[in-house]
Amino acid sequence: MPISRPVPWVSPVLYGAVLAAGLYAWLAGLGDTQPALFAGGLAALTGLDLLEQHRYPARTPRWPAVALLAARIALFVAVAAADGSGLSRALFVLVPFTAYFAFGRAVAVALAVACVALLAAAGAVADPRWYAAPEQVSDLLMFCVGLVLAVTMAAVAVEERRARAELAASTARVAELSATAERNRVARDIHDELGHHLTAIVVLLEKATAFRDLDSGTADRAVQDAHDSARRALDDVRRSVRTLREEDAPFSLSEALTDLVAGQSDGGGPAVVLEFAGEENGHDAMALRALYRAAQEGITNSRRHARATRVLVSAAFDAAGAKLVVRDDGRGFSPEREGYGLLGMRERVQLAGGQVDIGSAPGGGTRLTVTIPRRTAP
C-alpha cells in the first residue's frame, strides 16, 4: 500500500531553490520574470502542502490525492511560465515523486515519462530544432536524471518505511511468543512445585481427620507432617523465584531426587524407593530439571490417583543419554485422564529433546518412562 509523505522536506527545499533562482534572475534582468505570479504560485504550492498535511496527516485518500496532484501540476505550469530563470522546470520532478506515495510505482513512472514528453513538446514549440541546441538537450537530460533520482528516492523511502513497519510487527510477535513461553514455564513450575506439596498436604490432613478419634497420636503426626510439607512447599516456591533470577544456578538431580523421595516418608502415602545409576555430570541442566519434574509428577499422580502402596523411581545415565522410570503398583493409567500436569511434563521433556511414554506396568500399575538423549552441558 502506498505511504504518504515519508520525506516531507523535499518539496520545501525545492521551492526555496526555485524562489532564490527566480528572484535572482528578476533582479539581474535575466529572462522575463513576472515576480507577482512567480512568488504567488510558490506561495500557493506551500499553502497546498500545509493544507494537505493538516487535513490528511497520515495518508491522503485516493481521490483527494488526484485533485491535489492536478492542482500542483497547474501551479507548476504557472510558476514555470512566470520564471525567467528556467529553473522552475525542476518542480516537475515532484510530480512522479508525490504520485509514488499516493498511487504507487507504476503511476509514478508513467507520470515521469509524461513529464519528459511535455518538456520535449514545449521545447519543440519554442524551437522546432531544439534537438540541435546542446544547451536544450543538456537541460532535458538533466531533467531526466532528476526524475530518475526523484522516483528512486521515493522508492527507497517507501521500502524503508515498510521495512520499519515489518520489523516492528516482527518484534512485537517475538515479544508475544517470548511472553507466552515464559507464562507457560511459570505455569509448569507452579503446578509441579505447589501441586506436588498440596497433594501431600491434602492426603495428610485426610489421614489426620480419619484418625482423630481413633488414634490421636497418629493424627497429630499427620498434622505435623502436613505442616512440614507446607514448609517444603514454601521453600520450593522461594527456590523457583531464585531460579527465575538465576537460570544458571547449579542443579544436582541426584540430590533433588533424594530430597524428593525423603519428603514422601511421612506415612501419608505409598512407600517411595529411589534407584540411581550412572553419572549425571555432562548432561545439560534443562534435561536434568525435566527429569526431576517428571519424577515429581509421577509420584504426585501415584499418590493422588493410583492408590498405590509402592512407587519405584529409577534414574540411569550413560553415554547415550538419560532415562527415568517411575513405576507404581496402583490401579493403572487411563489415557483420557491425562491432565495439565502430564501435558506440562511432556512440554518440558520435548524442550529438552526427549520423549515420554506412559502405560501399564507389567503385573499392574502405571509405568512412566522418560528418555532424553545426551547433549553437552553448556
> DSSP of 30-77, one letter per residue?
-S---HHHHHHHHHHHHHHHHHHHHH-SS---HHHHHHHHHHHHHHHH
In a domain, 199, yes or no: no
Centroid of chain to Cα 52: 35
261/369 same-domain check: yes
31/161 same-domain check: yes
Instruction: Answer with the one of 140, 172, 204 that is the final residue of a domain.
Output: 172
Residue 258: domain span: 253-378
In a domain, 184, yes or no: no
In a domain, 64, yes or no: yes
Q: Which whole-number Å values give the CA distances from 27 to 1, 32, 33, 82, in the listed order?
A: 46, 11, 9, 14
288/158 same-domain check: no
24/151 same-domain check: yes
157/292 same-domain check: no
End-to-end CA distance of the chain: 47
In a domain, 325, yes or no: yes
CATH assignment of the domain containing 295? 3.30.565.10
Q: What is the CB-side half-sphere exposure of residue 68 using CA atoms within 13 A?
A: 24
Instruction: Per-residue pLDDT tens, the chain, 378 aa: give them.
Output: 444 556 788 889 999 999 998 888 888 888 788 999 999 999 999 999 999 888 888 788 888 989 999 999 999 999 988 988 888 888 999 999 989 988 889 999 999 999 899 888 877 877 777 777 787 788 888 889 989 999 998 899 888 888 887 887 787 777 777 667 666 666 666 666 666 667 777 777 877 787 777 777 777 777 777 777 777 777 666 666 665 555 555 778 898 888 888 877 655 578 889 999 999 888 888 888 889 888 988 888 887 777 788 899 999 999 889 999 999 988 877 665 666 677 878 888 888 889 999 887 666 788 899 999 987 544
258/168 same-domain check: no
Instruction: Answer with the one of 172, 189, 216 that is the final residue of a domain.
Output: 172
16/161 same-domain check: yes
Instruction: Answer with the one of 111, 142, 172 that is the final residue of a domain.
Output: 172
44/168 same-domain check: yes
152/38 same-domain check: yes
In a domain, 4, yes or no: no
260/164 same-domain check: no
20/168 same-domain check: yes
The structural domain count of the chain equals: 2
In a domain, 205, yes or no: no
In a domain, 46, yes or no: yes
In a domain, 363, yes or no: yes
